[in-house]
Structure 1
Amino acid sequence: MPTRRRLKGRRIAVLAADGFEKVELVVPLRALKAAGAEVDVVSLRRGRIRGVNLHMPASRVRVDRTIDDAAPADYDGLLVPGGFINPDLLRQSAPAREFVRGFADRGKPIATLCHGPWVLASAGLLDGRTLTSWPGIRDDLVNAGATWLDEDLVRDGNLTTSRGPQDMAAFVRGMLDTFAETSPEPATSAPRRTSDRQPDAPVGWAISALRWSPKPSAVAAVGIGLAAGAQRALRSPAAQSSGTRAADRAGARGRRLFRGGGLKAVS
């Protein structure tokens, strides 16, 4: 980095929801702050959002602004981390899609990696663009009109993308470069008429990590079950009065199962 504080005076929004891949938010966030940028984590709700390491729960990150309290005009650039849960939640949110479109409409730089481009696809921003991503969503992006390249870093105008955590060093350099520029640069990879081919197999290190990851705890299984049961019970207005009783019954049943060891089979 030729100038450590080259982003001083720049304000960057990090759009994320629960289920963000921890390394894809925390490492770029620290790099942005080290370069002098002011950074806001923008999310769908207040409080602290939960990160993941692949599919395992990780630490939380504090939300600075909700999507309703943030405006693209207030920022100089946008970072969208990946993880497969986080962008799937964001792409279902109309305010989140509009937030991303606000940066694109103004020609402001957008940096994203892994599954993050899903959000751009749902926002209708990928037709005619060239980018990369986690290999598993290659077809989604091609079907959205993009040219997909199997490279560690692809820059196309105001859009900077990488495949995932394996490309973090290249992504951070590219992200800092694009956020430091006063106007978007041309693509560094020449646009192609055809995308790179589909992968022949899943990413090997991800398969290995999942294979050797620890089993989920019984407490986590109970929590997921109770949350799902309560949501179903309270979803319908007609069920409001009976929903509390249903949630209470589900909670009591979950506690009995936990104390009695009934969840050992799924732990």
Structure 2
Amino acid sequence: MDPALNGMNIAILVTDGFEQVELTEPKKALEAAGALTRIVSDKFDKVQGMNHDQPGDQFTVDLLLREADAKAFDAVLLPGGKVNAAALREMDEAQRFVQNIEEDNKPIAVICHGGWLLVSAGLVEGRTMTSFPALEQDIRSAGGNWVDQEVVVDGNLVSSRTPEDIPAFNDKMVEVIANRMQEHLRGTGDEHAVGLAGS
């Protein structure tokens, strides 16, 4: 049987200061399921990961944020890390990218502090989600329903709290993206189509 996400294009949106394991482990899970992942950033060449408060590895940027078209992707992954998330939420291009993903009802997978971007982009009102506990009041103030669970699925939105939740987060992220692909294929009647991008 083909991998669940065969041919799906997933954007991983980060800037310097992201929590490294929140990128690497979900990225592995997506690729193991057959997806193609691309690191999208405002930074040229490399982006800096963190292991909590210590510098981690650098990762190659595949696509500059200002050149990224949400229509070319089937879903977006938003790793956390306080520095990363605080910077992304202030970027108009990052807000527009996730708004465009949401407009097409494509999956958004967000963990830890990553939810700050969704708050700033106006995408949490009426949604049930979780995050790093420090974001609870921001999410509630923006009209979201914050809950303390390892993983929460609300339609196209998958959210988790911390690196400890990554196994559950990965499972639900892959499941939601796979379900979205199957819904699209049923809608088109083409069981052999690959990916949703552009739809």
Structures share fold, TM-score greater than 0.5: yes
Look up the match of 1:67: 65
Partner Cα distance (2:51, 2:99) in 1: 28
The answer to whether residue 87 in structure 2 is matched with residue 89 in structure 1 is: yes
Equivalent position to 1:171, from 169, 172, 175: 169
Structure 2 residue identity aligned to 1:41: I
Partner Cα distance (2:106, 2:133) in 1: 26
The ranges of structure 1 where at least 4 consecutive aligned residues each deviate by more than 4 angstroms after the TM superposition are none
Q: May I ask how many residue pairs the two structures share in their alignment?
A: 183
Equivalent position to 1:57, from 46, 55, 58: 55
Partner Cα distance (1:4, 1:154) in 2: 27
Q: Is the 8 A contact 1:109 1:184 kept in 2?
A: no
CA RMSD across the alignment: 1.4
TM-score (norm 1): 0.67
More helix by share: 1
Structure 2 residue identity aligned to 1:96: A
Partner Cα distance (2:148, 2:96) in 1: 28
The answer to whether residue 113 in structure 2 is matched with residue 115 in structure 1 is: yes
Note the C-alpha offset of 1:183: 6.3
Equivalent position to 1:9, from 4, 7, 10: 7
Q: Is the 8 A contact 2:126 2:145 kept in 1?
A: yes
Note the C-alpha offset of 1:22: 0.4
Structure 1 residue identity aligned to 2:51: N
Provide the secondary structure at the position in 1 that maps to 2:180. coil
Q: How does 1:143-222 map to 2 (within 5 A)?
A: 143-182=141-180
Q: Is the 8 A contact 1:20 1:81 kept in 2?
A: yes
Partner Cα distance (1:178, 1:71) in 2: 21
Structure 1 residue identity aligned to 2:121: A
Q: Is the 8 A contact 2:129 2:152 kept in 1?
A: yes
CA displacement, residues 114-139 of structure 1 (integer Å, 9 cap, x when unaligned): 00010000000111110000011111
Q: Is the 8 A contact 2:106 2:180 kept in 1?
A: no
In structure 2, runs of 5+ residues without a counterpart are 184-199
Partner Cα distance (2:3, 2:166) in 1: 20
TM-score (norm 2): 0.89
Partner Cα distance (1:140, 1:4) in 2: 41
Structure 1 residue identity aligned to 2:42: L
Note the C-alpha offset of 1:181: 1.5
Provide the secondary structure at the position in 2 that maps to 1:181. helix
Provide the secondary structure at the position in 1 that maps to 2:59. strand
The answer to whether residue 153 in structure 2 is matched with residue 142 in structure 1 is: no
More strand by share: 2
Identity across the alignment (%): 42
CA displacement, residues 77-97 of structure 1 (integer Å, 9 cap, x when unaligned): 010000111111100100111
Provide the secondary structure at the position in 2 that maps to 1:78. strand
Give the number of the structure with larger relative contact order, counting CA–CA contacts within 8 Å between residues 6 or more apart: 2
Note the C-alpha offset of 1:178: 1.0
Note the C-alpha offset of 1:182: 2.5
Provide the secondary structure at the position in 2 that maps to 1:161. strand
Change (3 A) 1:10 1:16: same
